Every structure is written in structure tokens, then in C-alpha cells.
């Protein structure tokens, strides 16, 4: 049984509560990423996605100097590094999540992305099902 520890990314770009919206956007651009875990010390305080920057930042007319907390998602699903890849894929599919922070003993140790499941050819069926479920959700029309 493969575990998340075997396939997760450990070289994560992170930010802190002292960073601002502009600094997050710059990090995303520099590293070509759309997801940044926000740490308080080594503890996961939340996450910010590129979508968060648009919806909670720009659309709400927050300036670039706005605090990370203005756009951050506080209540984040996470998993431990000893979680099976199969269980992680199921959670990602059921909750429509593309990236999951991996937290051991309260500290961020990595991030598992949907691509980690597929690219590493581990549980390809589960990764495909998870991505399919997420994509179907994304393709649904939004009603005003």
C-alpha cells in the first residue's frame, strides 16, 4: 500500500500571516503555482489559491497591501503522511479538492496534488476518478 508520504511534494512554497495579497500573487507568478499554504510558525493556518485572490481579493476590491487573512481559507481539509494514496484520492474526489496539505503532528510536511496521484502512476484509476469528479463539478453551470 502506497502512502501519501511516498508521492507528496515536500518542497512547498509557503507564506505567513505577515505576508500580503500582492506578495502571494508574486509568489504564485514566480513559482507558476496556484496554491500556497499559510503557516503560523510551522503550523498550517490556512491556504490561499489563485481563485481566492480573484474572488476574495480583487473582486472585493482589497488592495495588494491587504493582509493574507482577508483572502485565506481558514478551514482546510488535510491528511497525514501515513494516509494511503487510495484514501487520499477518495477524499479529494468526494470533497472536490485538487490539492491537500499534508500535516503531521500539527506541522505542514507537504502537499498532495491530484497530479501527484496520476503522474507517479500510482492509483491511476483513483486519480482519474477524482479528477473526473472535480471536472464534472467545475463544468456545472453557475446559476445567479
* pTM metric for this prediction: 0.79
Q: How far apart are the first and last CA of the chain?
A: 44
pLDDT bracket for residue 122 (50, 70, 90)? very low
Q: What is the mean pLDDT of residues 28-48?
A: 95
Query: What does residue 74 show for φ and ψ, rounded to 5 degrees?
Result: -85, -45
Nearest to 46 by CA among 14, 23, 89: 14
- Whether 74 has a pLDDT exceeding 60, the answer reads yes
pLDDT tens profile 75-115: 899 999 999 998 999 999 899 889 999 999 989 999 999 88
Looking at per-residue pLDDT, the higher value among 129 and 3 belongs to: 3
Looking at per-residue pLDDT, the higher value among 22 and 118 belongs to: 22
pLDDT tens profile 52-65: 999 998 888 888 88
For the chain, domains (ranges, CATH) are 4-139 (3.10.580.10)
- Mean of pLDDT over the chain: 85
Q: What is the pLDDT of residue 57?
A: 87
SS (H, E, C) the chain: CCEHHHHCECCCCCEECCCEHHHHHHHHHHHCCCEEEEEECCEEEEEEEHHHHHHHHHCCCCCCCCEHHHCCECCCCCECCCCEHHHHHHHHHHHCCCEEEEEECCEEEEEEEHHHHHHCCCCHHHHHHHHHHHHHHHHCCCCC
Amino acid at each position: 500500500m502506497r502512502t501519501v508520504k511516498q508521492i507528496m511534494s515536500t518542497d512547498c512554497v509557503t507564506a505567513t500571516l505577515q505576508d500580503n495579497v500582492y506578495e502571494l500573487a508574486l509568489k504564485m507568478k514566480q513559482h507558476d503555482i496556484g496554491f500556497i499554504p499559510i503557516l503560523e510558525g510551522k503550523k498550517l493556518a490556512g491556504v490561499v489559491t489563485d481563485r481566492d485572490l480573484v474572488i476574495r481579493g480583487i473582486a472585493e476590491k482589497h488592495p495588494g497591501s491587504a493582509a493574507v487573512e482577508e483572502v485565506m481559507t481558514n478551514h482546510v481539509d488535510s491528511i497525514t503522511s501515513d494516509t494511503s494514496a487510495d484514501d487520499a484520492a477518495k477524499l479529494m474526489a468526494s470533497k472536490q479538492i485538487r490539492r491537500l496539505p499534508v500535516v503531521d503532528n500539527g506541522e505542514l510536511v507537504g502537499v498532495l496534488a491530484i497530479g501527484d496521484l496520476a503522474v507517479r502512476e500510482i492509483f491511476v484509476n483513483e486519480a482519474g476518478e477524482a479528477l473526473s469528479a472535480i471536472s464534472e463539478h467545475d463544468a456545472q453551470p453557475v446559476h445567479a
